[in-house]
Structure 1
Amino acid sequence: MKVELFVPCFVDQLYPETAFSTVKLLEKAGCEVSYNAKQTCCGQPAYNAGYWEQAKEIGNKFLNDFSSSDYIVAPSASCVGMVKNGYNDLFTNTIVHNTCRNVQGNIFELSDFLINVLQRDYFGAELDGKAVYHDSCSGLRECKIKDEPRQLLSKVHGLEMVEMVDTDMCCGFGGTFAVKFDAISSAMAEQKVNNALAMKAEYVISTDLSCLMHLDGYIKKNNIPLKTMHLADVLVNGWLDY
C-alpha cells in the first residue's frame, strides 16, 4: 500500500523525531511511504486567524503537493481536521472542488489510519509507567477519534492507561488563543495537568504535539514530574532500532 506522509510545519520545525516515528510505524505495517519535500503548511494558522484568502493560497499548494488518489497520513489530528473540514469553506464550488474532495477522503490521522484502514493495533512497543490520554479538540470533534489511540496504547507492554477527569476538555492551546488570551490558556493547562496528576500519571499522551507543547511548557515552568509524549513516539518506544 502506498502512503504519502504529511508532516505538519509544527512537527517539521519542532518535533521532527515524531515524523520519523510515523515513518517507522507505517513501514512496519507494510506501507510504502513517500514524502514530498516541497510540502509546507495546510493553512490552518491563517484560516483560524481569519485570513481566508491567504489560507486558500496555502491550501491550493497543499492540494498540488499531494496525490488525490493515494492515502495521506499525518501525525496530527489538528492539521488533518483542517483539511477535512476547513477546506470546505475554502474550496467548495471552486475549480479544485473535486480534487479537494478526493484529498479529504484520503487523508487520515495516524491512529485512525492504523486502526480503521490497516486494522493493526500491535507494534511491539514498550513503556513502563502510568499514563493518561488527552483527547485533543481536533481529534475528538473534527476527526471523530476517541477509541483508536486508546486501543493502540492498550497494547503497549508495561504501560498502564488510566482515564483522567475531563479528558475531552481543551488544554488551552488553541493556536493564537494561547497568545491572545494567555491567562485563560494557562489556567486551562493547569487544570489539565492537575487532572493528570490526580491519577498519579507519569505521562500525558496525545495525537497532537501542539497540545503537548502547551502542556509541557506549563509542566516545565512549574517543575512538575510529568512527561508528554506523542502517540507515534510511544508506539515505537522499546524497539531495538529506535
Structure 2
Amino acid sequence: MNVQLFIPCFIDQLYPNVGFNMVKVLEKTGCKIHYNNNQTCCGQPAFNAGFHDEAKDVCKKFIADFKGEEYIVAPSASCVGFVRNYYLKLFENSAHLNDIEKISARIFEFSEFMVNVLKVENVGAKFEAKATYHDSCAALRECRIKEAPRKLLSNVEGLELVEMADNETCCGFGGSFAVKFNAISVAMADQKITNAEATKAEYLISTDMSCLMHIDGCAHKKKSNLKSLHLADVLASGW
C-alpha cells in the first residue's frame, strides 16, 4: 500500500524520531512511504490564533502538496483533526471544496490507520515498563479515536498499561491557550501529572506530541520522574 507521509511542524523541528519510528512501523506492515519535501504546516497555528486569511494560504499549499489518491498518515491527531474538520469550513463554497473532501477522506492519524485501515494490532513490539495513556482532546473529540491506541498497546510484549483517573480531561496545552492562559494551562497539566503518577506508571503515552511536550515540560519543572513517549516510539521498540 502506498502512503503519503505528513510530518507536522513540531515533529519535524523538535521530535523527528517520532516520524522515523512511525515510518519504521508502517514499513514493517508492508506500506511504501512517499514523503513530499515541499510540505510545510497544515495551517492550524495561524487559524487557532485568529489569522484565518493567513491560515488559508497555508492550507492551500497543503492541498496542493497532498494531491493524489494515496492515504495520508500523520503522527498527530491534532493536525489530522484540523484538516478533517476545519478545511471544509474555511473553504466553504470555494473551488477547493472537491479536493478538500477527498483529502478529508484520505487523511488518518497513525493509530487509527494501523487498526482501522491496515487491520493490524500487533507489530511485534516489546517494551518492558508500566505506562498510562493520555487521550488528547483532538484524538477524542475531533477524530473519535479511543480504542485504536489501546489495542496496539495491549499487544506490546512486556508493557503493563494502567488507566489513570480523568484520562479524557484536557492536559491544558491547547496551542496558543498555553501562552495566553499560562496559569490555567499549567494547573491542568499538574492535575494530569498527579493522576498519571497515582498509577505508579513510569511512562505517559499519547498520540500527540503537542500534549506530551506540555506535560513533559511541567513534569520536569515539578521534578517528576514521569516520562513521556509517543505511541510510535513504543511500537517501534524491541525489534
- Do both share a fold (TM > 0.5)? yes
What is the alpha-carbon distance in structure 2 between the residues aligned to residue 68 and residue 198 of structure 1? Answer: 47
Structure 1 alignment gaps of length 5 or more: none
Matching residue of 1:222: 222
The residue identity in structure 2 corresponding to 1:53 is: D
What is the alpha-carbon distance in structure 2 between the residues aligned to residue 53 and residue 4 of structure 1? Answer: 27
1:68, CA displacement in angstroms? 3.7
Matched, 1:25 2:22: no
What is the alpha-carbon distance in structure 2 between the residues aligned to residue 102 and residue 132 of structure 1? Answer: 35
Matching residue of 2:190: 190
Matched, 1:87 2:87: yes
Matched, 1:165 2:132: no
Moved more, 123-132 or 146-155: 123-132
Moved more, 220-229 or 142-151: 220-229
4+ long deviations beyond 2 Å: none
TM-score normalised to the size of structure 2?
Answer: 0.99
| Partner-residue secondary structure (3-state), 2:219 | helix
Question: Are the equivalent residues in 2 in contact too, given 1:83–1:104 (CA < 8 A)?
Answer: yes
What is the alpha-carbon distance in structure 2 between the residues aligned to residue 69 and residue 92 of structure 1? Answer: 22
Can you list the C-alpha shifts for 1:86-112, whole angstroms capped at 9, x where unaligned? Answer: 112211210110001000000000000
Can you list the C-alpha shifts for 1:30-84, whole angstroms capped at 9, x where unaligned? Answer: 1110000110000000111111101110000000001241100000000000000
Matched, 1:9 2:24: no
Matched, 1:209 2:209: yes
Cα root mean square deviation, aligned: 0.7
Moved more, 223-232 or 88-97: 88-97
Identity of aligned residues (%): 59
Matching residue of 1:103: 103
| Partner-residue secondary structure (3-state), 1:160 | strand
The alignment of Structure 1 onto Structure 2 pairs a total of residues equal to 239
Question: Are the equivalent residues in 2 in contact too, given 1:68–1:106 (CA < 8 A)?
Answer: no
What is the alpha-carbon distance in structure 2 between the residues aligned to residue 44 and residue 89 of structure 1? Answer: 13
1:186, CA displacement in angstroms? 0.4
Question: Are the equivalent residues in 2 in contact too, given 1:172–1:185 (CA < 8 A)?
Answer: yes
